[in-house]
Structure 1
Amino acid sequence: MRVLVTGATGFVGGHLVPELLARGHEVVAMTRDADSYDAPAGVSVVEGDVLDPDLTLPSVDAAYYLVHSMQAGEDFEERDRRAARTFRDAVDAADIDRIVYLGGLGNEEDEDLSEHLQSRREVEHVLGDGEAALTALRAAIVIGEGSASFQIIRQLAARLPVMVTPSWVRTECQPIHVDDVVAYLVGVLETPETAGQTYEVGGPDVLTYQEILTTTAKLLLGRPPIIVPVPVLSPGLSARWLGLVTDVPVSVAKPLVDGLRNRVVVTDDSIRSIVDVDLTPFEESVRRALSESETVAERPVEA
């Protein structure tokens, strides 16, 4: 199958492209700057911007949409909306049969759903309004080297033996390893009956963010941190706090923190009977991510 991947240079897209190749698919990667993308052998590269109203897509059988605004700001929802509409219209113009989209978990009826989770849900609806059949996957935190969410978790665990944290540390989450997300993304592509359907995906473990931080610290340092939740700490203050103790910019930390108040747990696991994935336990996911992080750190810097 000939497949287009938008967001090929991102965290999930960077894992998806090689897996599609390994499964025998013909891959076309779309990026805004082809010269800056070190494409795997066998991948065709096209330049394109989902915010360009004149976006033209190549002829493919299916297209992955792995694009999200991860910056704070008053206009991020409009950017997400406009990008999704532009992409949907370009898909229709290119007569592409299917779109596969990775969005976020969260109860759609929750009036307190974070703005970024709301925006991801709106993108899902916009993409589904086109002529192509949409398959939407909804996931919580994706664990792996290169994940902004996991970068925050790892750096907090490494740098703070004692944490005064917001009450969101008690919120439940169902993290999933990046390899498992990719297995689902490829699996739905190869399963025709998933076209037009929405699925929730998650790993085998449901944990609070406190348990996630504690487990990561034990694996990283051999000891858990002392975590002291406080009842009131606004998303803005939480983001600034993360900006002080991690390398994640405040503009990225704020939308991530804003979503931590929402319980993101799978309530419908029907995909398990359709796409068979051997899910990775959380501890093993963290071990793999930490191992990958060490490998990246040890690589020599190229001139």
Structure 2
Amino acid sequence: MKVFVTGATGFVGSAVVQELIKKGHQVIGLSKNEESDKALAAVGVQSHRGNLTDLKSLKNGAAAADGLIHTAFNHDFSKFKESSENDRKIIEAFGDVYAGSQRPMIITSAIGLLTRGRLVDETEIPAAGQNPRIATERAVDAVAARGVNVSIVRLSPSVHGEGDHAFIPMLIKIARQKGISVYTEEGSNRWPAVHRLDAAKLFVLALEKTAKGGTRYHGVSEEGILFKDIAEAIGKGLNVPVVSKNKEESATHFETFAHFAAMDIHASSKITQESLGWQPVMPGLIANLNGDIYFNS
């Protein structure tokens, strides 16, 4: 299968590309510049010039392929609402191309959209709320209603492993700058996690399986790691004190990251594992934090 991948040079997308190649697929990777062209060529991937705001280029990339995996998203949280709305437009544009065919579309969403404080699974549909990223799932449902073979992979708050530049590095940066690693109250709020290489295998399995339009899969290998355990691993890695703060103090400490630090999500991937035969095998988040890949710089 020839597969169009957005985010093909990113942390998750590059692992997806490698997994696709390993499984014998050809890959067309979205490329925004010459540097990306070279990175893709180095791993045997055909580049397709475009960007996330150029819908015409995205449609052309999708049209040239037998299926697509959309992992790209602008993670500048100062533009989160704008980026989420743009993701809706991207999904609708892909749907225009794949309508009337069985070509598969795999779209990335987030576990963080789901209900907090209780176990959630793949059947859960996010309720309307303040999180703009809900636009992604609403767009998928709209495209699925047009008969498009589209599925969602919801990723854990922590997709970890070598090269990570997302939530865990952000926590490490805050702890390094402020000289303490902080958790809130008892630190009992939970974060699901998945290793990037396990996540990559999930995306490819989802692509290869024909599922009902709108099917959700969960990229979760650990259902809910206590935030206190994460804070303690970071404190150990940086050799700084680990401190509990109340909610108000934590909000001040984490600043713009406070919303994410307060997440309490307990998520299952049982349905995903059973339906796709997906079996996460890579080290867990705390094991990664206890290693040497997060604290070298």
TM interval, shorter chain, is 0.7 to 0.9
Match of 2:286 in 1: 283
CA displacement at 1:18 relative to structure 2: 1.6
Q: 1:156-184: CA deviations, max 9, x gaps? A: 45454434665695421111111111111
Match of 1:33 in 2: 33
Match of 2:23 in 1: 23
Counterpart secondary structure, 1:216:
helix
Match of 1:5 in 2: 5
- Report matched runs for 1:16-165 at 5 Å: 16-37=16-37, 38-39=39-40, 40-55=42-57, 56-57=60-61, 58-71=63-76, 72-73=78-79, 75-92=82-99, 95=101, 97-105=103-111, 106-107=114-115, 115-140=131-156, 141-144=158-161, 145-163=163-181
- Report matched runs for 1:239-278 at 5 Å: 241=255, 254=256, 257-273=258-274, 274-278=276-280
Contact 2:147/2:213 (8 A) holds in 1: no
Contact 1:59/1:96 (8 A) holds in 2: no
Counterpart secondary structure, 1:192:
coil
Counterpart secondary structure, 2:164:
coil
Question: Is it true that 1:189 corresponds to 2:204 in the alignment?
Answer: no
Contact 2:69/2:106 (8 A) holds in 1: yes
Contact 1:172/1:263 (8 A) holds in 2: yes
CA displacement at 1:149 relative to structure 2: 0.9
Match of 2:247 in 1: 231
Question: Cα gap change, 1:164/1:44 in structure 2, threshold over 3 Å: closer, same or farther?
Answer: closer
Letter in 1 for 2:72: V
Counterpart secondary structure, 2:293:
helix
Counterpart secondary structure, 1:152:
helix
CA displacement at 1:11 relative to structure 2: 1.4
Counterpart secondary structure, 1:179:
helix
CA displacement at 1:12 relative to structure 2: 0.6
Counterpart secondary structure, 1:115:
coil
CA displacement at 1:185 relative to structure 2: 1.1
Moved more, 224-233 or 16-25: 224-233
CA displacement at 1:51 relative to structure 2: 2.4
Letter in 2 for 1:97: R
* TM-score of the two chains, using structure 2 as the length reference: 0.77
Residue-pair matches, total: 276
Counterpart secondary structure, 1:75:
helix
**CA distance in structure 1 between the aligned counterparts of 2:85 and 2:273, rounded to whole angstroms:** 34
Letter in 1 for 2:48: V
Contact 1:168/1:260 (8 A) holds in 2: no
CA displacement at 1:126 relative to structure 2: 4.5
**CA distance in structure 1 between the aligned counterparts of 2:92 and 2:185, rounded to whole angstroms:** 36
Match of 2:118 in 1: none
**CA distance in structure 2 between the aligned counterparts of 1:187 and 1:97, rounded to whole angstroms:** 14
Question: Is it true that 1:204 corresponds to 2:222 in the alignment?
Answer: yes
Counterpart secondary structure, 1:187:
helix
Contact 1:69/1:80 (8 A) holds in 2: no
**CA distance in structure 1 between the aligned counterparts of 2:295 and 2:180, rounded to whole angstroms:** 23
Contact 1:173/1:264 (8 A) holds in 2: yes
Letter in 2 for 1:12: V
Contact 2:99/2:148 (8 A) holds in 1: yes
**CA distance in structure 2 between the aligned counterparts of 1:75 and 1:111, rounded to whole angstroms:** 20
CA displacement at 1:198 relative to structure 2: 1.1
